[in-house]
A and B are shown apart, each in its own frame.
Chain A
Amino acid sequence: MLNRFLAQRKLKKLLNAAPSGALKDYLNTPLPSQNQSVFETNYLALDFETTGFDLIKDEILSFGYVQVSHLSIDLKTAVHRLVKPDQSIPENSAIVHHILDDTSMQGMQLKTVLDEFLQLLKGKVLIAHYAAAESSYLNKACQQVYGCGIVIPVADTLMIERRRSRRNITSGQQLKLHQCCRRYNLPKYKLHDALNDAISCAELFLAQTAYWKNPYTARISQLINYLP
């Protein structure tokens, strides 16, 4: 976890190493201003499905993301992309995500998906539930594709929830995305694919901010970190 100063420094370093293309464009775009309000900030809520939980071994199977602006989720911008993985999908994770080898073979090249995603992420804050995972996988994917890492400003709904209710929450179970959503009277989706979870996560973020400070005056710097 970096502060803004370290993040800026790392960004500069990465920019020098990055090949021209989507990643360089991203790194070249200034980070969202510290002074802008929570309301005026643009966000991109993201969720991945991966082949497993091991950052070294496992790969991204699908991206689901949707944009949030003026604290409202714009479903027009909802995107769901399957990625063609290098390795075949281990049986146990396929059961969770219902993505079988056949369907994922119809997926797109990781680079194509990343290019499109980074283009959108420019100037936005990433929303994710337990963003350490999302940012690490993204970082690894960037290194794989562009030979260079990344720095992302993130609003982590899990961290926000933990901070908000430090005293009340006793088990990690209660911090799971769907448990959090339930506490805010948010809908429960039946299907847990990357897109539905990204939408759930964005909804949780809206709920958290509604219960936080005045979004027109509260600064975004109070909500975000820089990862990985």
Chain B
Amino acid sequence: MMQGELEEIFDFIKTVRPFDVLPDSELRKISKQLRIKYFRREQKIINIDQQHDSLFIIRTGAADIINKDGELVTRVNEKGCFGFRAVIKQHPSLSVVIAHEDCLVYVLSGEQFRQICSNNIDFKDHFMMVESQRLHKALKQVKGHEDRFSAQMASKVSEIVRRGAVFTKQNLSISEAAKKMASENVSTLMVVDDAGELIGLITDRDLRIRVLARNMDTSKPVKTVMSKKLIKIDADTMAFEAGLLMMRHNIHHLPIVADNKPVGLISTTDLLKLSHQSPVYTISEIAKANTIQQLVDISADIPAILSQLVDSGLRAYQVGQVISTLGENINIRLLELAELEFGPPPVDYCWLAAGSLGRREQLLHSDQDNVLVLGNNFNDAEHGHYFESLTRFVSDGLNDCGYVYCPGDVMATNPIWRQPLQQWKNYFTRWINEPEPKALMYCSIFFDMRVLYGKRKLFKKLKKHYLGIGKDNHLFISNLSVNALQNTPPLGFFRQFVLVTDKEHKNLLNLKNRGTAPIVDLARVYTLSASLKSINTYQRLLDAKSSGVISEQAADNLLDAYEFINLFRMKHQSQQIMNNIKPDNFANPNALSTFERDHLRDAFKVVSRMQEYLAQRYTSSHMR
């Protein structure tokens, strides 16, 4: 006998969260237990205090959940469920549900629902868990899903490296080492101690400069001429991270170790071979560019790189690091070109990036925030013109490359932000000691600075200065906290999304100002209150955790929230790139999948909660 197959119902239920965790056989059974109801627009689906004892799943249309005070709590769309709170607790509904559009609804009886819950913990968890737990689980799911697509740049270095480690003992003579390098045909030899642990490297260049040029006795042990300042990576590190490390330190070989024992050597060439659209390749192109136009052309590839990185399943902070490294190198190249154009600088200077590039978490469509710190021997009459030209050149170049001018004019072209070290110290002293609103706004920009080019020492002195006066300055921290609470997550009191109201982005979700920015601000307050040096938001949260400024749980929740929102933001931009739309930070809430919507909401909730804690903790002193 042929029973009703209900294949279409089954196919649909399978895509509804959390039904998607149930086995097919269970889902087929559930399909047959459903009832179908229809509600026309504005019709009441559930009345307040009604004992409905059913779970509702929207097949088509949308419904509004409205609380006792007549306020919209949330809007449930296609594939969304409602009614579960009343079913779980078996009490009358606390809200009214009204069809926002014509709705076809599947109804699952409370009895059936509770039975599924009792048989399947994942299913039950979805309805019972608090948002932070749900978010953490979702994040694991997203990653697990994407690991399958993991591209080469996300593969481990140990998988890419072509040959095993070539190494020698530290007491072997220099000539023996050279012979080994010749016979193995390598330009770099790793040196190990008696325990087999990596302690140094010797390269062709070392032999040339430290041995031949100095007429050194080649029977001496190799350890006397090896490089001991070692940068090495673990075998589990991802290829792109190795690339980043090499770019940052301008080195071409990187020893790979497992338990500090050499397992191989990775070179920039190994990485270049991975992909022609790889960031490593792009960085080498940036360094070779000789005109602004060339840099503009290279920058045009950055969106595609972001897209590729997102697809390859990297974590959001890693994508941010790569995109930032590209931005950083464009800054550097522009400064080099500027120095070629205007000649060497008459006094020391250092070029700093603030904002997202400073924090190494730049994405697309980000404007430039940069400043110049000059040596104290700077004399405006004598040197002013040079630096004006230099900063104009770089800032225009950045704008051409897509890093548009800062609307707040926080750029080195603005003479206020092109000052000698002493003046910068005065600025910080004033901001910290007289924290007026504008000063606090500046703090949030200038506490995220990082050197991109020039004399690092200048910035080091400045940073030491401001971390010193900010430390244990309760008034300052509490003011900064108040400031950090200005951007709230886009979540209304009853969990509905709060959308943008201005004309251009009407009814969209602002993923930056109200998505990631609140977390960035929180992380800054945490680190400054403990005088921690880190700038990157991930690092700040990790440091805040290990130094005990916030609880381990709170830090982990924020890290998850940050990762989820950022990942979503990147996917949004990547999607726009694919559709040839200019990437931005505004998402259409109606285009979200149920999964995304639910978990974004959870992420925002986590942030809201941390803002509440912060408000209680630091801003109370402000009130007194």
Contact = CB atoms under 8 A, between A and B. Distances in A.
A210 B107 CA distance: 17
Interface stretch (B34-42, B344-352, B418-426): B34-42
A175 to B, nearest CB: 19
Contacts of A108: 1
Contact of B32 (A71, A75, A211): A75
B200 interface: no
Interface string A83-124: 000000000000000000000000010000000000000000
Given A78-B4, A189-B8, A210 B104 contact: no
B7 interface: yes
Interface residues of A, number: 30
B37 A75 contact: no
A212 B9 CA distance: 27
B586 to A, nearest CB: 27
A82 B36 contact: no
A81 interface: yes
B311 to A, nearest CB: 29
A76 B8 contact: no
B35 A75 contact: yes
B43 interface: yes
B102 A184 contact: yes
Nearest to B5: A80
A187 B38 CA distance: 11
A191 interface: yes
Contacts of B40: 207, 210-211
B6 interface: yes
B9 A75 contact: yes
B3 A210 contact: no
Contacts of A202: 36
A185 B101 contact: yes
A227 to B, nearest CB: 25
Nearest to B41: A185
B59 interface: yes
Contact of A206 (B1, B3, B37, B60): B37
B35 A207 contact: no
B37 A207 contact: no
B4 A72 contact: no
B35 A195 contact: no
B31 interface: yes
A75 B104 contact: no
Contacts, number: 78
B2 interface: yes
A135 interface: no
A184 B40 CA distance: 8
B433 interface: no
Contacts of A206: 36-38
A57 interface: no
B33 interface: yes
A202 B152 CA distance: 52
A203 interface: yes
A132 interface: no
Contacts of B31: 75
Interface of A: 64, 66, 71-76, 78-82, 108, 184-187, 189-191, 195-196, 199, 202-203, 206-207, 210-211
Which 10 pairs between the two chains have the least Cβ-Cβ distance?
A: A78-B4, A206-B38, A73-B36, A185-B102, A210-B40, A72-B35, A72-B37, A189-B8, A75-B34, A207-B38
29 contacts: A66-B4, A71-B37, A72-B35, A72-B36, A72-B37, A72-B107, A73-B35, A74-B35, A75-B31, A75-B35, A76-B32, A76-B33, A78-B4, A78-B6, A80-B3, A80-B5, A184-B38, A185-B60, A185-B102, A185-B103, A187-B8, A187-B60, A190-B8, A191-B8, A196-B8, A202-B36, A203-B36, A207-B40, A207-B104
Given A75-B35, A186-B60, A187-B104, 7 more contacts: A72-B37, A73-B36, A75-B4, A76-B32, A79-B4, A206-B36, A207-B104
